[in-house]
Each structure stands twice: as C-alpha cells, then as structure tokens.
Amino acid sequence: MHRPGPDLNAFDAWGYEIFDQDYAETGEVVIWSRSPLIPRIGELFNVETLGELNELSVRQIQTFTGGWTATCRTEDH
C-alpha cells in the first residue's frame, strides 16, 4: 500500500466523517473512515472546525471490520 509523502493530501474517494461536537471542550475530533489507509499515532490532520483551521495529532486508533476511527487532538489541550 502506498503511503503519501509529507505533502498535503486531500481525503480520497473512500469517504470520511469528522465528528467534532466536543471540540470546544476537549480539543478532540474523531475521524471515521472505510479507507484501507489507516493513519498512525502522531500523524497530523488539518481540520476546519468552529470556523478555524486546526492542526490535530492522531492520539488513538481503533479498527473494526471494514474501517477505522482516529481520535485526534490539538496540542493546546
């Protein structure tokens, strides 16, 4: 499986959902996907939430049949 380099890469056609309802309190979002490319702990995502672009670090990965979730957090929390 090819893993992209350090350049910015948009989400692909596999589709992703970003759950950010607790972001203001916790600084966390959860990314859910069926993509075969599973992120690694420490990888960074740029996510727009609450009208701002935020750099979030992957803190926890959970896999399930057919997909995965990644809990991501800002460095400020």
User: Is pLDDT above 60 for 48?
Assistant: yes
pLDDT digits 0-9 by tens, 6-33: 555 555 556 788 999 999 999 999 999 9
Domain boundaries, the chain: 16-73
Q: Which long-range contacts (CB under 8 A, 24 or more apart) does 54-59 make?
A: 56/29, 59/28
Determine what percent of the chain is predicted with pLDDT higher than 70. Answer: 81
The CATH class, in words, for 16-73 is mainly beta
User: Is pLDDT above 90 for 3?
Assistant: no
Find the radius of gyration of the CA atoms of the chain: 12
Relative to beta strand 28-33, strand 52-64 is unpaired
54: which 2 tokens? 């935020």
